[in-house]
Amino acid sequence: MSLFDHKLAELHELMQKKEVSVTDLVEESYKRIDAVEGKVKAFLTLDEENAHAKAKELDSKIGTDEAKGLLFGMPIGIKDNIVTKGLRTTCASKILENFDPIYDATVINKLRDAETVTIGKLNMDEFAMGSSTENSGFQKTSNPWNLDTVPGGSSGGSAASVAAGEVPFSLGSDTGGSIRQPAAFTGTVGLKPTYGRVSRFGLVAFGSSLDQIGPITRNVEDNAYLLQAIAGVDANDTTSADVEVPDYASALTGDVKGLRIAVPKEYLAEGVGEDARQSVMAALKLLESMGATVDEVSLPHSKYGVATYYILASSEASSNLSRFDGIRYGYRTPNAENLLDLYKKTRAEGFGDEVKRRIMLGTFALSSGFYDAYYKKGQQARTLIKKDFEDVFENYDVIIGPTTPTPAFKIGEKIDDPLTMYANDILTIPVNLAGVPGISVPCGFSKDGLPLGLQIIGKHFDESTIYRVAHAYEQATDFHKQKPQL
């Protein structure tokens, strides 16, 4: 049995009793990485020397008041688009292959305050653009449940590292489903918080009005503790919200009596596979038997979600990625003859195909002749999608459906068909457009033995109710206890 099979609270208790040390946990992590990383390929950079030094320092504090926090001494993996001072941050892109940041993201400062130990930086789709982690500029990550399948994306490394038992939890980022979709594919628990709940300062920007950092864990309880540590307003991020952060753990009552659950008919419509549909229906039946009420509703504008998202996210990406020009940091072409040549060749050589595709789409949508037809229209559609959620939440506590239409697909299966790949996020994208929180929890397995995810969506800043439903469901099932056999 791995130490990471214990919940966070159990590990903390063992540490307080001095039955386990921080060094034990860090060694467990690197030992597991040595054993399985050749197959999974979740990490881009390891920080072994600093992690062992930090573990040694923290071991001297065990038994004192400084070691009281639940996250004290816990190993964690960080998605490689969250900047870490002195630890390489590449966004899985050649254009940042030599970038060592000079400051920490706010979430990293919060984790340092909680005395966690950073194990390394995790693979992802380049600049978080993708749904399979096949768009990484350095390596393809495999799904621990079946090494021939993708772990999802863009936080594929973050989800795979947790599923493979390399770290007990990790941080990812979610712009259109990039935490929830890989969590569903790998049988882990992934939360996209309300937009503004967690500071984006130090998260390399993709779509600034959509991006959110969130936790990926093995169970709902650990997820709540990790969100507790990273949530809150931040003076460095004007989009972070000054809303009180509640005690999420107190919501984990196991009780859903009287809760009203909405099931959008669009989330179980054509295109959603039978395995996903059946697992969600079974989950709803179980929640109903526990005292919740379940009704079918409609989110009529969700069908425009994918088109709206790719116009808006690509437009924001076009603007955000203009800073990567070979002048200030990152890769610079050695073949330039003049300044314009430097810009063109640096970006042509440094960015991958998917990033170029989205930059061009976004630049087109923002151009003077097409702005009203595309970008403005996209913002109008976004308002309608947000209104759909607000209308449903007037009468219901949560919205439930599948996280993804299908289980994980094979590596290489969709990489040459961008439109099919984009459609994979059809159930997660509306949540980002509306800015509401959503979580994916394991809810069964396909006929091929691959995990399936249940998506629970809540009102703005009401992560507590999402956790309440997710935890109650988790306690009544054992899907989260099953692990891949690597």
Query: If we measure between CA atoms, which residue out of 186, 247, 254 comes closest to residue 217?
Result: 186
- List, as own/partner pairs, every contact residues 49-57 make where C-beta atoms lie below 8 angstroms and the sequence separation is at least 24, other chains included: 50/87, 50/118, 51/26, 51/75, 51/117, 51/118, 51/119, 52/23, 52/26, 54/22, 54/26, 54/117, 54/118, 55/21, 55/22, 55/23, 55/25, 55/26, 55/117, 56/22, 56/23
Residue 345: Cβ-neighbour burial (10 angstroms; 0-12, 13-18, 19+): middle
- List, as own/partner pairs, every contact residues 139-143 make where C-beta atoms lie below 8 angstroms and the sequence separation is at least 24, other chains included: 139/41, 139/44, 140/41, 140/411, 141/40, 141/41, 141/42, 142/39, 142/40, 142/41, 142/411, 143/185, 143/186, 143/408, 143/450, 143/484
| Beta partners for residue 401, in sequence order | 455
Are 437 and 191 in contact by the 8 Å Cβ rule? The answer is yes
- Alpha carbon distance 375, 45 (integer Å): 37
Catalytic site residues? Answer: 79, 154, 178
Query: If we measure between CA atoms, which residue out of 6, 426, 469 comes closest to residue 256?
Result: 469
Q: Residue type for 59, please?
A: D
- Alpha carbon distance 40, 18 (integer Å): 32
Q: Residue type for 105, please?
A: A
Residue 428: Cβ-neighbour burial (10 angstroms; 0-12, 13-18, 19+): buried
Q: Where does 105-198 have alpha helices with state H?
A: 106-113, 156-163, 180-186
Q: Where does 46-189 have alpha helices with state H?
A: 48-59, 106-113, 156-163, 180-186
Query: If we measure between CA atoms, which residue out of 193, 226, 166 comes closest to residue 36?
Result: 166
Residue 453, CA distances (Å) to 188, 271, 279, 460 in order: 9, 16, 9, 22
Are 354 and 135 in contact by the 8 Å Cβ rule? The answer is yes
Break the chain down into helix, strand, coil percent, rounded to 5. 45, 15, 40
